[in-house]
Structure 1
Amino acid sequence: MTSSIAVFAQDGAPQAAAEDSGDAIIVTGTRITGMKAADSPAPIQILGADTLARTGSPDLMQSLAQQLPSIQAQAFGSDLQAHTLQMKLRGLSPNHTLILVNGKRRHGTANVSVAGGPYGGSAAPDISFILPESIEHVEVLQDGAAAQYGTDAIAGVINFIQKRADHGGSINATGGRYYDQGGKTYAIGGNIGLAPFEGAYLNIAAQKKHKGFSFRGDINPQSINYAENLGFPAVATLPGYPYTNRIIGDPHIDQTVVSYNAGYEFGEYELYSFGSYGHKKAAAYENTRNPKVIVSKAGVPFYPAGFQPQERIDETDYSFTGGFKGTLGDTTFDLASTYGKDVVEVYVYHSGNAQLYADTGFTPTTFHNGDFFNTQWSNTLDLTHQFDVGLSEPLNVAAGLEFRHETYGIRAGDPASYYGGGAQSFFGYSPNDAGTYKRDNFSQYLDISFKPTEAWLVDGAVRHEHYSDFGDTTVFKLTSRYDFSDTFALRGTASTGFRAPTLAEGGYSGLNVGPGFVGGVLPPASAAAAALGFGGLGPEKSTNFSTGIVFNPAPNFTITLDAYQITIRNRIMTSTAFSGFTGNRCPAGYLNPSTDKPNEACLPFDADLYAIYNQPAVFNAVQAALGGAIPGYVILADNGIDRNTEGGISVQSFVNGVKMRTRGIDLVMNYSTGLGDMGKLDLTFTGNYNANKVLGINALPSALYSSTANPDLTRLVDASSEVELEHSTPRFRGTFNAFWQMDKLSVNLRESYYSRVYTLETARAAGPDFKAGDLIQVPVKASFLTDLEVGYQIAEPIKISIGANNLFNKYPTERSKAYIRSVELKNGERGYSTSKYPTISPFGINGGYYYARVNVTF
């Protein structure tokens, strides 16, 4: 059975199933039972299942991002992040948005992002394991809600409400691909409602999804050079030659998920349970390696043509909830327990271990690099009671308890994956990286809502939480709404938040040791990080303010306008990479392998730059993290490393990096009208203005060198990451949606506008007002994108639809040919193949996508 909430709604916005859309009952953002969307004191947006389906994507995250301008889906992730792309609300971290299913907290992914910028450290739930087929509607609370739901709900809450139907069902089949190359997608799924016995319901949903590789890079000059000039003609046989470096694009994904939502109602009580089980297998290309990377002692290549390694994951994700709720007199109760787990097994295919092959004459080509796991067990008791105190409506008191136990861990990979220089493209996790981290959290909340007058609603909440590793915190929220008339209301909120770092942010460890380099991430609380002065992570603290209006100037016409400000102190992110030595700035006591001269003789720069790139504290910390010694081949053996420009020791850590402020405005206008014999038309405009500003960067630990001549090179957070925090989210995004339906025909047209975004990169050639080596802006210019879908009900149960997202095949602005790419091409650098488009593009890098869908309802 299809969803009863068929069109996008904002507070009092029209819906297909109700003459007055304000009759929609919400459960997010309020503890009042039976509150209507039209009466919400906080901005909440509702998306029905049919609305999500009209995006044409079987990916739930992409469907949300296309509909809601305040949500941005990650377009591309490097390394393991390619398999678990995330979304951000209001330009903040994915960790700042609380994900609920049927009002219960969803567990996070085990695959933490170690990238810089706004996605760094993200370990939010992977919503690809939440099925569109299982959803009745989605409630998106765009307001700080830490005091109501938990101290990580800083940007807002997304609550996926599942279907409860005990009869009927649907089957959906979707297929599509990108206009230009790759991304072939198919998904088949459906749901069925059953009534196992009187008073019981069971709704089962399932989906099998496949997505193929895409490629949006360019030719690989390095492969051409090896094939035509360096005596390795076999390189020309690599798949895709000369486009051999295929890292830029979508991964290959096969995913199967099954979920259920069940309950048994008897009298005033209900026993309920819901859960899901999913399995994902995915593969992503890594940078192509040339034939000289893995050679025998006699100099014979292991791969005469070079090789194209792939990172692969085998992921299992499941979650189960059981609960009992009901009414005792004037008191409602809800007692529930939820357990969720995510396990990610990491592999490298079509690769090899160069050091192992050089030492033994043997190397595997497939490696098990290790595993990540994340678990969450939460137990909640929620109570509400109404008291008649002589006001216009009863005083509503809600209170509750929550106990949560969480674990995160890393398991070591095969010894061959981390021996010596490790597996090419992805160094395995060693026993030094492995470990398990645990945390308990106990919280209590109190929420009081009342109406001093019939037109005035006041809601206050306070929440206390105790973390076994971070101690205690108390947060507050005050919300109010005043209805001046049936057509105009004013509302506002003020709240505080406190987010403890995820266990993944605190425990992730990954040091890669290769020929000529060591790099990676140190756990913030490790001895090595402590030696650098980091000393572990502290919590983030936030304050939120918002104010807005609800205006109904005419029947079926609603306007809402909400302004907000969010300030986050000690925001957690990935630090700058700090160097033990870089390139030819060899460490003290060693000779430059290129010149056999002491380190002082190989300095092309001044002493200040030498200190920036050759910090003994970093060298010593990495040495300790590796068990007391850095392998000699890292420092002395050239292994094809050009010591004038490449190699060295460089490490990062998750840190409390910045103080940040976000200001913005959300605007929603919705109008629905009948057209007589011409059917019905629903029009919606949603706009978001969002400005992120870094107010300050925290000080560098005292153990690290702080340059007075060039402070920008020794900041805790580098300039590129700062700019991405501020400018990788569109300052303005607007979406106009028109849905027209007449008899059996329906048309959905969506026009989206994305304002300019940019990041910083190093100029490779001088420009009119900068020199080579300076940081310059790499933009994605403002763009309009058009989505179109046409559907027809060919029979009572069967509807077919065809459509296109990005109908006119719009691509992001190419990176500068004059100042970046031309030099890469001239020098024959492999990087030329991966630098065609900025991967921060808010609408992706793949161009247009067309699809067809068949829906059978019964």
Structure 2
Amino acid sequence: MATIALASLSATGVMAQTGAPAADDADTSTIIVTGTRTTGMKAADSPAPIQLLGNDALQRTGSPDLLTSLAQNLPSIQAQAFGSDLQAHNLQLKLRGLSPNHTLILVNGKRRHGTANVSVAGGPYGGSAAPDISFITPDSIDHVEVLQDGAAAQYGTDAIAGVINFIQKKADHGGTVNATAGQYYDEGGRTYAIGGNIGLAPFDGAYLNVAAQRKHKGFSFRGDINPQAIALSAANPAIKNLPGYPYTNRIVGDPHIDETIASYNAGYDFGDFELYSFGSYGHKKATAYENTRPPTTVARTVGGVTTLFYPIGFQPQEHIDETDYSITGGFKGSIADTTFDIASTYGRDFIGVYVLHSANAQLYRDTGFTPTTFHDGDFFTTQWSNTLDLTHQFDVGLSTPINVAGGLEFRHETYGIKAGDPASYYGGGAQSFFGYSPNDAGTYKRDNFSQYLDVSLNPVEHLLVDGAVRHEHYTDFGSTTVFKLTSRYDLSDSIAVRGTVSTGFRAPTLAEGGYSGINVGPSSVSGVLPPASAAAGALGFGGLKPEKSTNFSFGLVLNPAPRLTITVDAYQITIRDRIMISSGFNGYTGNRCPLGYAGSNAGACLPYNDDLYKINNQLAVLGAVNGALGGSTNVTSLANATAIPSYVYLTPTGLRETTGSIAVQSFVNGVKMRTRGIDMMVTYNMDVGNLGRLDLTFTGNYNANKVLGINPLPSALYSSTINPGLTRLIDTSSVVQLEHTTPKFRGTLNALWTWDKFSLNARESYYSEVYALETARSGPDAGSLIKVPVKPSFITDLELSYQILEPVKISIGANNLFNKYPTERTKAFIRNAELANNERGYSTDKYPNFSPYGINGGYYYARVSFKF
């Protein structure tokens, strides 16, 4: 359940970065509120691993973006470095290498609504519809609690990897103002942010904390020259007037973002009761470059005269206009020995999608007219949660009373797509992003009702046992019951052991089940089918099933010296029927070998003609695509797939289009996956005589993902007997992304030295190798999948601060101090061939976009902080 009834949890492995200089016992005395229902539990008594980040620690990253701040401090969290298409505007995080959907996001213990911008990419971020934490005001945060343990039985069935709880400030006086500016060492990314918070006491017993932030981030570019533009400029010199020539294809890099967010946290205490409310509002406008187009893309020939709409080519951009808000109201308190918390939370995210500086080539050819700005459609999602939590202690003669907690939750969710302007999806649609048609539009709803029971007791002194059971019922996926058993035993004052075993169940998000987007290009049709649609049914799919998981962990807590704390926790998470985007299924590929082909590679290619469609079972794909475009799913040949434009597979003279293709994907229950790892934390603080104080923290994470099995293809789909790995439900490249794009080891050593008015924060992070697979274009392995790595790297962050006046502090710093870039993709086997063939792709694949520390290099900044 997403709420906590006056409950608090702590962890022995708490980071000593809670905002104020810590006393010697700060770690062990901290009371936190994530992961147990026992009231007042201290850090020293925690049965589960949890890490704390105070507001000062978040500020010391120099980034106004919470995603970056969390990832720099916590090795088990990885931030998405780059997102294609709409994902560029809504980067996500993953905990322990799992999907962003496996981490529950809370604010003040209440569930945060997800984004309407679902990721349709492959790999570990595919299907992500998790909350966009960029809409959480950084200056409103007192501290962040990260529970690194499966908690589905405690909070809800999506807390498989863990829980991140943002605890907001409750001060009724004082405040802060922070102004930050910075940019990348090399090019772009110019950033500024100004924000702050103020605490007020409207009347006796009440508090109101208000925070706001305005931030801006400029474009960056990390691509290469565009060989296509250079080659075309010989015949059309005007191409050299495209901005950035010859670096005209500027899709790889950060988008341009302007965002304004505000939030409040309020309460009124009277006796043993409190009325409370908190909420947020945010507005984001973001623009990202897409692939540049040559002049011939949009052209019209009349009477033998060809007119180019963009004589020098064009650089289309995708743009979003997003509004996000949330509000919570609640009442909590205690009656005798029973505490209660009743609350209601409503959240909504709305995204308008646009294409700028573009054109509809088919519309221009047909009519001589095309817009240059398109409204492609809208996404929206809402979540309304209502919760009741109760706790009561019973004294039955044990060493401590038994704590019993129970509660109820009712949640109503919606997700929907609205169609765009007709010009955005007419014919081949708007260049760079095909609009959402009425066939894609729809609204999806569901309700969830859940109940939980949690019992915590000390059967004997020094032994803590906590058991939780949770039952959930979804109106679209039925019922489930999940369990968790947690235990901790203190062998002495300096040694304790702890462990958990739990089960989990994650229903597909409405976005995973309802997203639809079919793109029609000049010679291709591709996109994503809703899993439960009639079109997907033509492929043999019957909708999504819930994921099921099992989680084990075992840990040690060591306090060998008064100022030294060590925690080590090993874990294993197994997820069955993990939801992800499928491989692409082809219904037509124009360059398939013709029947009777006898070339040297004949044994490796699939024959193609209309008669062989039935043998190869590709008619199901054609039927699915035809149905998604508004036609019948019962297709017996390519010729009667009447909803598919003929120009996709036929040239203007009626010949077969050799570059044409028809392919679709869908969200599927793809794999069984196992994650094994170890989290470690060491904290030590010491006085260094007349030189002040030094706080040292080492955090490390070893994480190994393994795909144990891939679910079979539906019977309607063809599986190659020549290379089955290329026609599986989840292809080999996607499997490798799941397994190897999260570092197997990451360690971070943080040293904070404070002396008089000076402070110096140094952070050294190590990332082990990650890699993906790509097809070699040249060399002895041409045509085969080869390893494309990001080699092991050390990244250094440094910040120096000086308190110039009592309320004013200035800071300068650098993230990635030595301007480290990820390993470039191989020129010998991939990029040289792209360059030789004058391919636009050469410009976009200089660096692997799955780099765990980004693709932009070093970033420097300055910050002024004012406290009052």
> Counterpart of 1:822 in 2: which secondary structure?
helix
Of 269, 277, 289 in structure 1, the residue corresponding to residue 281 of structure 2 is 277
Does residue 780 in structure 1 map to residue 800 in structure 2?
Answer: no
> Counterpart of 2:56 in 1: which secondary structure?
helix
Q: Where do 1:205-284 residues align within 5 Å?
A: 205-228=211-234, 231-284=235-288
Task: Name stretches of at least 5 consecutive residues in structure 1 with no aligned partner.
Answer: 1-7, 587-597
Aligned to 1:830: 840
Aligned to 1:523: 530
Find the aligned partners of 1:752 and 1:69 in 2 and give their Cα distance. 8
> Counterpart of 2:577 in 1: which secondary structure?
strand
Find the aligned partners of 1:153 and 1:673 in 2 and give their Cα distance. 37
Tell me the amino acid that sits aligned with residue 64 of structure 1: L
Does residue 623 in structure 1 map to residue 626 in structure 2?
Answer: yes
Find the aligned partners of 2:399 and 2:143 in 1 and give their Cα distance. 32
Q: Where do 1:508-519 residues align within 5 Å?
A: 508-519=515-526
Does residue 357 in structure 1 map to residue 364 in structure 2?
Answer: yes
Aligned to 2:95: 89
Of 420, 424, 430 in structure 1, the residue corresponding to residue 437 of structure 2 is 430
Deviation at 1:677, TM superposition (A): 1.5
Aligned to 1:486: 493
Find the aligned partners of 1:132 and 1:256 in 2 and give their Cα distance. 12
Aligned to 2:8: none
Find the aligned partners of 1:474 and 1:123 in 2 and give their Cα distance. 24
Superimposed CA distance per residue, residues 579-599 of structure 1 (whole angstroms, 9 cap, x where no aligned partner): 01112349xxxxxxxxxxx87
Find the aligned partners of 1:172 and 1:11 in 2 and give their Cα distance. 26
Does residue 192 in structure 1 map to residue 192 in structure 2?
Answer: no
Deviation at 1:643, TM superposition (A): 4.4
Tell me the amino acid that sits aligned with residue 286 of structure 2: A
Superimposed CA distance per residue, residues 82-129 of structure 1 (whole angstroms, 9 cap, x where no aligned partner): 000000000000000000000000000000000000000000000000
Tell me the amino acid that sits aligned with residue 648 of structure 2: V
Find the aligned partners of 2:719 and 2:227 in 1 and give their Cα distance. 38
Deviation at 1:20, TM superposition (A): 1.0
Aligned to 2:59: 53
Find the aligned partners of 1:14 and 1:392 in 2 and give their Cα distance. 33
Superimposed CA distance per residue, residues 356-387 of structure 1 (whole angstroms, 9 cap, x where no aligned partner): 00000000000000000010000000000000
Deviation at 1:608, TM superposition (A): 4.2
When residues 175 and 807 of structure 1 are mapped into structure 2, their CA distance, relative to the original with a 3 A threshold, is: same
Of 655, 658, 682 in structure 1, the residue corresponding to residue 671 of structure 2 is 658
Q: Where do 1:335-350 residues align within 5 Å?
A: 335-350=342-357
Q: Is the 8 A contact 1:579 1:614 kept in 2?
A: no
Aligned to 1:393: 400
TM-score (norm 2): 0.94
Q: Is the 8 A contact 2:12 2:44 kept in 1?
A: no
Q: Is the 8 A contact 1:515 1:638 kept in 2?
A: no
Deviation at 1:647, TM superposition (A): 2.4
Does residue 818 in structure 1 map to residue 828 in structure 2?
Answer: yes
Does residue 308 in structure 1 map to residue 312 in structure 2?
Answer: no
Deviation at 1:37, TM superposition (A): 1.6
> Counterpart of 2:306 in 1: which secondary structure?
coil
Of 772, 775, 791 in structure 1, the residue corresponding to residue 801 of structure 2 is 791
Deviation at 1:482, TM superposition (A): 0.3
Deviation at 1:19, TM superposition (A): 3.3
Aligned to 1:751: 764
Of 435, 447, 454 in structure 2, the residue corresponding to residue 440 of structure 1 is 447
Q: Is the 8 A contact 1:617 1:703 kept in 2?
A: yes
Q: Is the 8 A contact 2:617 2:718 kept in 1?
A: no
Aligned to 1:595: none
Tell me the amino acid that sits aligned with residue 636 of structure 1: L
Of 668, 678, 690 in structure 1, the residue corresponding to residue 691 of structure 2 is 678
Find the aligned partners of 1:126 and 1:552 in 2 and give their Cα distance. 37
Find the aligned partners of 2:651 and 2:430 in 1 and give their Cα distance. 18
Find the aligned partners of 1:284 and 1:42 in 2 and give their Cα distance. 41
Task: Name stretches of at least 5 consecutive residues in structure 2 with no aligned partner.
Answer: 1-10, 632-642
Q: Where do 1:528-567 residues align within 5 Å?
A: 528-567=535-574
Find the aligned partners of 1:155 and 1:170 in 2 and give their Cα distance. 34
Find the aligned partners of 2:15 and 2:415 in 1 and give their Cα distance. 42
Does residue 707 in structure 1 map to residue 720 in structure 2?
Answer: yes
When residues 758 and 363 of structure 1 are mapped into structure 2, their CA distance, relative to the original with a 3 A threshold, is: same
> Counterpart of 1:241 in 2: which secondary structure?
coil
> Counterpart of 1:704 in 2: which secondary structure?
coil
Find the aligned partners of 1:11 and 1:210 in 2 and give their Cα distance. 33
Over the matched positions of the two proteins, sequence identity in percent amounts to: 76
Tell me the amino acid that sits aligned with residue 788 of structure 2: V
Find the aligned partners of 1:385 and 1:622 in 2 and give their Cα distance. 57
Q: Is the 8 A contact 2:595 2:607 kept in 1?
A: no
Deviation at 1:232, TM superposition (A): 1.3
When residues 640 and 479 of structure 1 are mapped into structure 2, their CA distance, relative to the original with a 3 A threshold, is: farther
Superimposed CA distance per residue, residues 120-148 of structure 1 (whole angstroms, 9 cap, x where no aligned partner): 00000000001110000000000000000
Q: Is the 8 A contact 2:12 2:45 kept in 1?
A: no
Tell me the amino acid that sits aligned with residue 46 of structure 1: L
Deviation at 1:713, TM superposition (A): 1.6
Find the aligned partners of 2:167 and 2:14 in 1 and give their Cα distance. 17
Deviation at 1:600, TM superposition (A): 7.0
Aligned to 1:111: 117
When residues 108 and 317 of structure 1 are mapped into structure 2, their CA distance, relative to the original with a 3 A threshold, is: same
Find the aligned partners of 2:254 and 2:138 in 1 and give their Cα distance. 21
Of 779, 788, 796 in structure 2, the residue corresponding to residue 766 of structure 1 is 779
Deviation at 1:39, TM superposition (A): 1.1
Superimposed CA distance per residue, residues 395-428 of structure 1 (whole angstroms, 9 cap, x where no aligned partner): 0000000000000000000000000000000000
Find the aligned partners of 2:396 and 2:390 in 1 and give their Cα distance. 19
Aligned to 1:173: 179
Q: Is the 8 A contact 1:212 1:252 kept in 2?
A: yes
Aligned to 2:709: 696
Superimposed CA distance per residue, residues 529-569 of structure 1 (whole angstroms, 9 cap, x where no aligned partner): 01101110000000000000000000110000000000000
Deviation at 1:621, TM superposition (A): 1.4
When residues 553 and 639 of structure 1 are mapped into structure 2, their CA distance, relative to the original with a 3 A threshold, is: farther
Find the aligned partners of 2:15 and 2:82 in 1 and give their Cα distance. 36
Aligned to 2:104: 98
When residues 167 and 14 of structure 1 are mapped into structure 2, their CA distance, relative to the original with a 3 A threshold, is: closer
Tell me the amino acid that sits aligned with residue 240 of structure 1: G
Does residue 506 in structure 1 map to residue 506 in structure 2?
Answer: no
> Counterpart of 1:712 in 2: which secondary structure?
helix
When residues 311 and 331 of structure 1 are mapped into structure 2, their CA distance, relative to the original with a 3 A threshold, is: same
> Counterpart of 1:364 in 2: which secondary structure?
coil
Aligned to 1:372: 379
Q: Where do 1:34-53 residues align within 5 Å?
A: 34-53=40-59
Aligned to 2:296: 292
Tell me the amino acid that sits aligned with residue 273 of structure 1: S
Tell me the amino acid that sits aligned with residue 290 of structure 1: P
Aligned to 1:593: none
- Aligned residue pairs total 834
When residues 188 and 504 of structure 1 are mapped into structure 2, their CA distance, relative to the original with a 3 A threshold, is: same
Find the aligned partners of 2:665 and 2:655 in 1 and give their Cα distance. 22
Deviation at 1:13, TM superposition (A): 5.0
Find the aligned partners of 2:856 and 2:765 in 1 and give their Cα distance. 17
Aligned to 1:418: 425
Superimposed CA distance per residue, residues 657-704 of structure 1 (whole angstroms, 9 cap, x where no aligned partner): 000000000010000111222111000000000000000000000000
Deviation at 1:708, TM superposition (A): 2.1
Root-mean-square deviation over aligned CA pairs: 1.7
Q: Is the 8 A contact 1:515 1:637 kept in 2?
A: no
Q: Is the 8 A contact 1:11 1:38 kept in 2?
A: no
* Residues 737-746 or 291-300, more deviating: 291-300
> Counterpart of 1:80 in 2: which secondary structure?
helix
Q: Where do 1:92-171 residues align within 5 Å?
A: 92-171=98-177
Does residue 742 in structure 1 map to residue 771 in structure 2?
Answer: no
Find the aligned partners of 1:133 and 1:421 in 2 and give their Cα distance. 46
Superimposed CA distance per residue, residues 480-504 of structure 1 (whole angstroms, 9 cap, x where no aligned partner): 0000111110000000000000000
When residues 189 and 660 of structure 1 are mapped into structure 2, their CA distance, relative to the original with a 3 A threshold, is: same
